[in-house]
Amino acid sequence: MPEKAVVIALGGNAILQHREAGTAEEQLANLRRAAIEIAAIAAAGYAVAVTHGNGPQVGDILLRNEIAKDILPPMPLDVCGAESQGMIGYLLQQALGEAGLDMPVAAVLTRTLVDGGDPALFGSPTKPIGPNYTAMQARGLEREKGWRMVQVPGQGYRRVVPSPRPLALVEGEAIARLFAAGVIVIAAGGGGVPVVGEGGGTLRGVEAVVDKDYTAALLARLVGAGDLLLLTDVEHVALNYGRADQQDLREMTIAEARRHLAAGQFPAGSMGPKVEAAVGFLDAGGERATIASLDSAADALRGRAGTRIRR
């Protein structure tokens, strides 16, 4: 594997931002910003693998399913996840091509192996997906499809699905070979399509969502990256986020990160998975993990922006 290697994880909300309509043009424009940063990192001599979130995009796909259900058969969640991987991978390939890279780029539609016995698949689901529903619609969906619905204050009801931990990337060997050959690989978008083993080598997609930050750490270990760069829509990890006494952090040790996690500083639905993924990556032998904003990716990799977590 290359001496200087980085896995860059783009947040789904950075690709489709709040209050945007979600047009292809808007998402391509946001990915062009990301591509400029990725190109600068590649030009600095790094081998690069990219992964990305897909929450807003899958939400739109599920909404289209709902609107067209009387005309076309709705697709299951694993198929919708694969569809979002293809769409975002294509747009990112286009954006990287426009950024003037002189190296090949390939998007790999990736399946993520999860444990069929993972308690997350059988306990209380936690990951909200898809559109908002009225109380009457939610009751009907629970009855007709067996979905678990939860009330979101001020918004209505949403479906929640399990979020099991990733074990391995099914396309891992292909990804590693491409990466070693100097290809910028886009892989495991949205955490990958979750699948479980059925015996005899058969895999079955499951109605679940794998957190993309945990999968990003898994991808980084797969390709032997020394750096994991988790990009989001804030400049730094912060203590007391959103309060008058908010404290932005430039650096944390693993021990400090664990202490803040235990104190509830980083919620499970936002910064928590990023910090946990960074700690897991470092525990497994990674050198540096940095959480930063999309527009400061290259500076964050140099240690000039974002929050760096170190051993």
Q: Are 37 and 306 in contact (CB under 8 A)?
A: no
Active site residue 13: yes
**In the annotation, is 280 catalytic?**
no
- Give the burial string for 82-120 (b: 16+ CB within 10 Å, else e): bbbbebbbebbbbbbeebebeeebbbbbbbbbbeeebeb
Q: Residue 242 carries which side chain, given as an amino acid letter?
A: G
d(CA 149, CA 145): 11
12 catalytic per annotation: yes
Residue-wise pLDDT for 69-127, tens only, equals 999 999 999 999 999 999 999 999 999 999 988 899 999 999 999 998 888 777 778 88
- 3-state secondary structure at position 121: helix
The one catalytic residue in 11, 55, 191, 274 is: 274
pLDDT at 231: 94
Does the annotation count 4 as an active-site position? no
pLDDT for res 1 = 64
Give just the sign of the alpha carbon dihedral 256, 259, 260, 261. Answer: positive
Ramachandran bin of 76, using left for φ above 0, alpha for ψ from -120 to 50, beta for the remaining angles: beta
Identify the active-site residue in 11, 30, 81, 127: 127
Instruction: Examine the residue annotation and report whether 55 is marked as an active-site residue of this protein.
Output: no
Q: With a cut of 50, list the residues of the chain below it in pLDDT.
A: none
pTM: 0.93
pLDDT for the residue numbered 18: 75
Catalytic option among 4, 13, 22, 156:
13
Which residue in 11, 12, 81, 306 is the catalytic one?
A: 12
Catalytic residue among 189, 212, 286, 306: 212
Domains of the chain in start order, with CATH, are 5-116+165-310 (3.40.1160.10), 124-161 (no CATH)
